[in-house]
Amino acid sequence: MVSWQRFQSVLGKPYLPPLFFFSGVTYDTLVLTRIDRLRDNLLLLAYLSLLGFLIVLTGRLGTQEATVDDLPPDAPFFMKWVVQAKPYAPMAIQFLLGSLFSAYAIFYSKSATFAGTAVFFCVLVAFLVANEFLRSRLSNVQLLVSLYALVCFAFFTFFLPVMTGWMNAAIFLSGAVVTVLVVLRVVQLIYWNNSDRTSREAMLAGAPAVALVGLLVGFYFLNWIPPVPLSLKHGGIYHEVKRSGDRFELSFEKSWYEVWKASDTVIPADDPVYCFTAVFAPVALKTTIYHHWYYRPDPGQPFTDADRIPLKISGGREGGYRAYTFKEGLDPGDWRVDVEAEDGRVIGRMAVKVLDKTAVGSLSLTTVVY
């Protein structure tokens, strides 16, 4: 008894939540390496299943404190265990939500760009941090169901493309539908044969979650959701790209002190311009990406469409599927290449300034192998 009380007192220490938070994020960063790894996806699915069970349990038992003495004498042992464990349900829910948000933040960060798709990633990070302060509110059924809708939606967004090998609007909307069905099932289990709950409460519990899924679908059509499970492993602008066997030789200008430089930022107008990318995709996924070239003559003007070149890719390679496009005789000005998924979402972005030959100094070419 003394050891159990000591254990409970340790759990109440104020420094433990931040310690668990940073330890969990560090652990997930090291362990979650590939979005198509079956073991990782099964672990996340197990987290979602257990989280759903705890939300149903919390919703059915309510906020009233119950003891084993309140149960009938013939109550099964399982019910006695549930009543004894109920005070720790919010802590377990917080742990599972933190684990899921942490995993999603890692996966989505690899596909997010500041071209707009980072919006949903920022939402996940915000909930990851906010989760550390939500324990006192994790008995609110509406909040729990809405959070469950968010973590289910984030999971099915990449899980279905990984499992089916397809990535398009239909698969994305299928994930949204599955999320709604799962959430409504959780709500049904909370209020099924529950005399303490009314049908109006059931509608109020499920409505915010369904509205949230609808809002996230809107995010998709606004290109605010990263194109998971695709991610840009490498991308850059180069003077020349040559393929030698299974390797690509990438040539760019570099001064001796520019140790950080990995691609060209300025290219003379007379030289060809190559855009090289390596895009990771799951093993079974075959899709089309695009190198979308944009141009503006002056910094004060908006970019205009110049060309959109399709590239068919297949998944499985750890370093990403490698491909390149090139252009010659570019006009002086700012050029950029958006690497886009088939549905238009941006996977990555590279930029280069094209200048007149006289305005560009002569530097030695450096070649790297990818």
Q: What is the pLDDT of residue 65?
A: 53
CA pair distance 321, 338, nearest whole angstrom: 16
- How many other β-carbons are positioned within 10 Å of the β-carbon of residue 127? 20
Q: What is the pLDDT of residue 176?
A: 97
- Please list the rounded mean pLDDT of every run of 10 residues in the chain (370 residues): 50 53 62 81 92 86 54 51 62 82 85 75 80 65 90 95 91 96 92 71 85 95 91 94 92 86 89 94 90 93 95 89 94 95 91 83 81
Q: What is the pLDDT of residue 66?
A: 52
Q: What is the pLDDT of residue 63?
A: 44
Q: What is the pLDDT of residue 1?
A: 46
- Model confidence, pTM: 0.83
Q: What is the pLDDT of residue 201?
A: 75
Going by C-alpha positions, the residue among 141, 143, 108, 139 that lies closest to residue 122 is 108
3-class DSSP state of 256? coil
CA pair distance 40, 228, nearest whole angstrom: 15
Q: What is the pLDDT of residue 39?
A: 86
Q: What is the pLDDT of residue 220?
A: 94
Provide the token pair at 11.
């759990």
